[in-house]
Amino acid sequence: MIASLVATLDKDIADLSEIVSRISCIPGVELSDAKAVTHRFPVMIDSPDPDSLEEITRRLQQIPGVAFVDVVFVHFEDESDSVPVTPSGKPTCL
């Protein structure tokens, strides 16, 4: 599963570098190269399953200085339930 999030940091925090460092240390989390000019940071999570995604999101929310975590997009493929397709890529009737 891959998810795109936006972490909004507390505007009263003067030094955002420690918060950004804590976010970037979470396994499976990748921050964009955005500088600490804004209090909103795009975040990408690569997790093996929905439970891990939720756990990482909650972990982000619990970091002191993080005001909000908004989930923008979630992509997952469940290959166990894949539908057979024709050579043109269209699903076949089951």
pLDDT digits 0-9 by tens, 50-63: 899 999 999 999 99
Confirm whether 21 is domain-assigned: yes
Q: What is the pLDDT of residues 18-71, one digit of tens each?
A: 888 898 899 999 987 655 557 888 999 999 888 999 999 999 999 999 999 999
> In terms of residue numbers, what domain contains 11?
2-77
Coil, strand or helix at 30? strand
Confirm whether 83 is domain-assigned: no
Overall number of domains in the chain: 1
CATH number at residue 36: 3.30.70.920
Q: Give Cα 51 distance to the centre of its chain.
A: 13
pLDDT at 89 over 70: no
Coil, strand or helix at 15? coil
Confirm whether 12 is domain-assigned: yes
